[in-house]
Structure 1
Amino acid sequence: MAHPKRRKSYSKKMMGRSHHALKQKPFAECTNCGEIARPHHVCQSCGYYNGRQILEIRTDEVSE
């Protein structure tokens, strides 16, 4: 098995991990209802994607 010849310095180690940080997920405004939704995903509040209704969103009404 191969072994490193020299110890990696702290700065080189951290530079190698520079892309490991968590990135914020992108959000866009739904063109139908205006709510915040993920791009290229069906809107969870209205069920529309690309101007067409994909999901039938039901609202659970509480009857007393």
Structure 2
Amino acid sequence: MGAHPKRKISKMRRDSRRGHHALEFPQFITCPSCRQLTLPHQACHRCGVYRGRQVVEMNNERAAQ
């Protein structure tokens, strides 16, 4: 036999616990060097710039444009 609850969990307590389960849509920022949408606090995946510095070497033609 499995465990059984000793008391009923009220709807308010149940729903309050589940209030943190919602998914959030990721927030995007615009890269100042290439105007591409990117995630905050991360290097741009198109040009490799983070906080005004080139941190990732990009050797494709799209980064030079």
User: Which bracket does the TM-score occupy, shorter chain normalised?
Assistant: 0.7 to 0.9
Using the TM superposition, give the Cα deviation of residue 58 of structure 1 relative to its aligned residue in structure 2, in angstroms: 2.2
Q: Which has the higher helix share?
A: 2
Pairing 1:47-58 to 2, within 5 Å after superposition? 47-58=48-59
What's 2:19 paired with?
18
Structure 2 residue matching 1:18: 3-state secondary structure: helix
For residues 46 and 59 of structure 1, the distance between their equivalents in structure 2, rounded to whole angstroms, comes to 9
For residues 51 and 4 of structure 1, the distance between their equivalents in structure 2, rounded to whole angstroms, comes to 56
Task: Give the gaps of 5 or more residues in structure 2.
Answer: none
**1:40 partnered with 2:41:** yes
Indicate the percent of aligned positions where both proteins have the same amino acid: 40
For residues 25 and 31 of structure 1, the distance between their equivalents in structure 2, rounded to whole angstroms, comes to 19
The TM-score with structure 1 as length reference comes to: 0.75
The TM-score with structure 2 as length reference comes to: 0.74
How many residue pairs match? The answer is 58
For residues 59 and 52 of structure 1, the distance between their equivalents in structure 2, rounded to whole angstroms, comes to 18
For residues 59 and 13 of structure 2, the distance between their equivalents in structure 1, rounded to whole angstroms, comes to 53
Task: Give the gaps of 5 or more residues in structure 1.
Answer: none
User: Which AA in structure 2 matches 1:48?
Assistant: V
